[in-house]
Structure 1
Amino acid sequence: AVAEILRVMSLTGLGAQSVREGRSFMTGRSITGAKMRVFWPCKDGYVNFIIYGGEAGRRTNQALVEWMDSKGMAPEFLKKREWKTFNIAAVTQQDIDQMEEPISRFFEQVTKKEFLEEVIKREMLGYPVATVEEIFQDPQLEARKFWQNIDHPELKTSIPYPGGFAKFSEAPCKIWRRAPLIGEHNEEIYCGELEIEKKELAKLKEEGVI
């Protein structure tokens, strides 16, 4: 279950389902009903990038165009656009399509690693869409000792579990034990908490109720 949940995700938002189902667009920020791309194919997977409005958009959009221009891939209309007055709420679908076409071609030439490096360097908003393997090997999570090995005696091995979402000085946020096995606490719950007789519990097992 954990593997399925984490199979493909973005650390800036859970985009796995959208990527798997091909729903790479979003609506809701435009009064014109314009549909905007959220996930973009890149050289070795996908990246998460949104054309923003406002101050965040001014910085990020301008930085992206400058990056594209450094590679000779920024068309004149993008270089001439005034991002300070760019109104994402009033943008039309035609305008969005015109902007997204060269941006899409540019991202297709970039790896996820290159994208992240430039996003950090240029102070942009965006993040690669990571696979489970990439999340497991993420240097930030490794540095924070996020993954915790928990013993599974029944398997005669240990399994890495996602750890706490934050570090607290007084109350550690961590995994204390493995996940329960199917039916492991049946007797404790049914007989101890619900006060069902053991013979009744055995009957329920025989009938396939539990």
Structure 2
Amino acid sequence: MSQDASAGPLAGLDVVDMTQMLAGPFATMLLADLGANVVKVEPPQGDMTRSNPPHLKDDEAYGGYFQSVNRNKRSLVLNLKDDTDREAFEGLVAEADVLVENYRTGTMERLGLPYEDLSEDNPGLVYASIRGFGDPRTSESPYAERPAFDLIAQAMGGIMSITGTPESGPVKVGPGIGDIFPAVLSVVGILSAIQHRERTGEGQYVDVSMVDGILSLTERIVHQYSYTDEVPEPQGNTHPLLFPFDRFEAEDGYVVIAAPNAKQWHALCEHMDCPDLAERYPTEDEQRAHADELRAVVNEWTSSYTKGELFELLADDVPCAPVQTVADIFESPHFDARDMLETVNHAETGEEVTIAGTPIKFTECDTGVRHRAPLLGEHTEEILRERDLLGETERKNI
């Protein structure tokens, strides 16, 4: 684990993190991984995901879900319905560069902490929200008040409509991309707003809708429908415009092969010892028109090799990869070399556990996992003392 937060490219950036669940915490995790000082402001009961499994022991402070996306942060407990705590929060935000929250529309207003008031005290504040249908400040969605989760975003943003098979019907994508991709877009927006502030001195509101984010990720269906008037449907691992671009069987699992251009297709046919196929179907249009027939030929050939053998045989000149389980990933020399499996200490037992690492690398800056996720309120007194916000009154949550 990297130990020097000051080496990160975002060192010196102060972020107030009012997020919970996955979308918001993933966004602030990225900022923290890049060196920002992220203070996670939690209510007295904590982020609701602290209790989410998996757990190493029944009564631990938090499980793997919380550990993974809240590393590199400090926890500050404030009850924002309490006047003293709300005053401390306002003092915290007055000195911050960025505030991120993913509450439902109107929640911060009901707490008496709207963007307009916070930005009046801190004109340079970059305030970012991630909501299911966006915030009315940038555009009025008829669904702005409605709650949303990953599944809602995947359904309404279009990605479920093309995921699955004709037999299965729509299927959601496994990981929570309805949270994670909007989170990444939010970080892009935050850093863009910071660049704008560098030029102008102005802070601003950054608004990302989860549903909008998934539509942008699924952009292909938009131009397909516009150009052809056809509604794309689930078609499994095949591609509507390319072949081969598919999953194939191996002796011990599956591989994917993507060889749609002439050079790659000819190379695949050579490996299969079937040069006649390249001669009979030399163009991409002909490959696509005879995809069902050719798929059976390729599948028969791949099924006589292991996925590791196919990867070694093909990957230098034919884009190919094994379909890896997480057990395979733990054994992968690539992810080991790229520091993508990071170990942190379990908060209570000290036992080492593994979480996904940081995919953004730099030549001159350090990034990565520096420390485990915080215990609830672990840094409350430390943070308030740093900012001279303790006041005269003894705080009940310290």
TM-score (norm 1): 0.61
Opposite residue 291 of structure 2, the aligned amino acid is I
Q: What does residue 170 of structure 1 align with?
A: 364
Q: Which among 46, 55, 64 is matched to residue 268 of structure 2?
A: 64
Opposite residue 285 of structure 2, the aligned amino acid is N
CA distance in 2, matches of 1:170, 1:29: 41
Structure 1 residues 140 and 115: CA distance shift in structure 2, 3 A = same
Q: What does residue 240 of structure 2 align with?
A: 28
Structure 1: any 5+ residue segments left out of the alignment? 5-16, 193-197, 202-210
| Offset at residue 99 of structure 1 (A) | 0.9
CA distance in 1, matches of 2:298, 2:238: 17
Opposite residue 272 of structure 2, the aligned amino acid is M
Alignment check: 8 A CA contact 1:163 1:173 kept: no
Q: What does residue 258 of structure 2 align with?
A: 50
Matched, 1:102 2:297: yes
| Offset at residue 75 of structure 1 (A) | 7.8
Q: What does residue 307 of structure 2 align with?
A: 112
Q: What does residue 150 of structure 1 align with?
A: 344
Alignment check: 8 A CA contact 2:347 2:372 kept: no
| Offset at residue 37 of structure 1 (A) | 6.0
| Offset at residue 79 of structure 1 (A) | 4.3
TM-score (norm 2): 0.34
Q: What does residue 124 of structure 1 align with?
A: 318
Q: Which among 284, 305, 317 is matched to residue 86 of structure 1?
A: 284
Per-residue CA deviations over 1:129-184 (Å, capped at 9, x if unaligned) read: 10111111111222233322111131330112222214323322201222356xx2
CA distance in 1, matches of 2:164, 2:326: 16
| Offset at residue 64 of structure 1 (A) | 1.1
Alignment check: 8 A CA contact 2:248 2:256 kept: yes
CA distance in 2, matches of 1:129, 1:149: 24
Per-residue CA deviations over 1:85-132 (Å, capped at 9, x if unaligned) read: 3326x943xx111111110101111111111111234x1112111011
CA distance in 2, matches of 1:112, 1:166: 28
RMSD over equivalenced CA pairs, Å: 3.8
Identity of aligned residues (%): 24
Alignment check: 8 A CA contact 1:148 1:161 kept: yes
What is the total number of aligned residue pairs between the two structures? Answer: 160
1:41 partner SS? strand
CA distance in 1, matches of 2:259, 2:305: 18
Runs of 4+ in 1 over 4 A off after TM superposition: 1-4, 185-188
Alignment check: 8 A CA contact 1:24 1:40 kept: no
Alignment check: 8 A CA contact 2:241 2:288 kept: no
Q: What does residue 39 of structure 1 align with?
A: 247
Opposite residue 28 of structure 1, the aligned amino acid is P
Structure 1 residues 80 and 28: CA distance shift in structure 2, 3 A = closer
Q: What does residue 107 of structure 2 align with?
A: none
